Amino acid sequence: ESPAAMQGLEMLKLRGFGISLDDFGTGYSNISYLRRMPLDVIKLDRTLISEISSDTASRIIARSIIAMLKELDYTVLAEGVEDAETVTALTQYGCDQAQGFFYSRPLPEAELDEWLGWKLRGQC
């Protein structure tokens, strides 16, 4: 939150770098950052979306946060996506991107190369 850090972020943005805020919704990532920091992508922490396929309150919270972030013109990325129902809900809410075990578990480099080749060949 120092002026020097904010100036550094502004300089990076002016040079064409995209800036992401990770783990939004937990710890030190809070709504006040949205007004002060020059951000492009907001990564929703898995705790915000992990139960949207089974819990009404979680669906309402996730849908509202995504709507707010989209209204503020951010790219929204959901972390920790583990099932098709969550993907469907996030898509309906307007979430731009998702990552998680639904798509792939973490892979060693050689397996990642193979997986990417498979995906690029259209084997989705």
**CATH code for the domain in which residue 20 is found:** 3.20.20.450
Please say if the pLDDT value at position 123 is more than 90.
no
Please say if the pLDDT value at position 53 is more than 60.
yes
Average pLDDT, the chain: 89
Q: What is the span of the domain harbouring residue 7?
A: 3-120
Please say if the pLDDT value at position 121 is more than 90.
no
Q: Are 42 and 70 in contact (CB under 8 A)?
A: no
pTM of the model: 0.83
Please list the alpha-helical segments (H only) found in the chain: 3-14, 32-36, 46-49, 56-71, 84-93, 109-120
Our count of domains for the chain comes to: 1
Query: Rounded to an integer, what distance in angstroms lies between the CA atom of residue 72 and that of residue 34?
Result: 9
